[in-house]
Amino acid sequence: DAGVTQSPTHLIKTRGQQVTLRCSPKSGHDTVSWYQQALGQGPQFIFQYYEEEERQRGNFPDRFSGHQFPNYSSELNVNALLLGDSALYLCASSLVKGLTSEAFFGQGTRLTVV
Amino acid sequence: AQKVTQAQTEISVVEKEDVTLDCVYETRDTTYYLFWYKQPPSGELVFLIRRNSFDEQNEISGRYSWNFQKSTSSFNFTITASQVVDSAVYFCALSGGNTDKLIFGTGTRLQVFP
């Protein structure tokens, strides 16, 4: 049973460019959340997708957008990249069941903006 | 506002020592969940435990144990007889209210030396 998979594992982009990160949830999961983890910090919630719609959003600018596909996989898009966007981006999947969802995380995509 | 504080930035122990990782949380929600995750160098967050706010029973799983005290808003994690493989960054997290997004602490880096 495959867990949460993310691609690519590493990425280097230039300031001002756009990037797309991808996530396939654990089999049987229908909800995908994205987190940003800066070096030495805890993960920060970006947003969550369920039934192909953004369900919750953290305190991130509109440059951060996402999408969920009918097969529950998801993309995170970041426009107009800033140096401060350099971080580990983690995807978590869960099964919506009230407030008891246990999130499974992927290994992340390490984005470096130069 | 919700907040998780992990005051210990880094802990170093020698193998077979017991070690306790502290976690203090703040929330106004009456129903909430507390979590511990382990992050090895590979980057993936590994789920360790989830507790709900109505269950203050301590829990033991092998060498791991958790002490949840609502009176002090703490959810501490103890590793008994630590091993080199326990070396990682450990995160405490909180979710509550009408959301299942995770609020993470800044993490505690545990180094276990042989």
Q: Where does residue A30 rank: exposed (0-12), middle (13-18), buried (19+ CB within 10 A)?
A: middle
Q: Does B99 touch chain A (CB under 8 A)?
A: yes
CA distance B95 to B112: 29
Q: How many CB atoms sit inside 10 A of residue B28's CB?
A: 9
What is the DSSP-derived secondary structure letter of residue A78? Answer: E
Q: What is the mean pLDDT of residues A3-24?
A: 97
Q: Which of residues 23-82 of A touch B (CB under 8 A)?
A: 33, 35, 40-45, 48, 56, 58
Q: Are B86 and B110 in contact (CB under 8 A)?
A: yes
Query: Could you tell me which of B57, B103, B47 has the C-alpha nearest to residue A42?
Result: B103
**CA-to-CA separations, B19 to B6, B50, B63, B96, in angstroms, rounded:** 14, 20, 11, 28
What is the pLDDT, as a whole number, of residue A101?
Answer: 64
B24-40 pLDDT, tens digit per residue, is 999 999 889 999 999 99
* Chain B interface test: which of A99, A100, A107 (most B C-beta within 10 Å): A99
A45-88 pLDDT, tens digit per residue, is 999 999 999 998 999 999 999 999 999 999 999 999 999 999 99
Tell me the one-letter amino acid at A36. Answer: Q
Tell me whether residues A42 and B45 touch, CB distance under 8 A.
Answer: no
How distant is the Cα of B80 from the closest Cα of chain A, in angstroms?
Answer: 25
What is the pLDDT, as a whole number, of residue A99?
Answer: 47
Range scoring the smallest mean pLDDT among A9-13, A83-87, A102-106, B74-78? A102-106
What is the pLDDT, as a whole number, of residue B67?
Answer: 94
Instruction: Please give the structure tokens belonging to residue B31.
Output: 């129903």
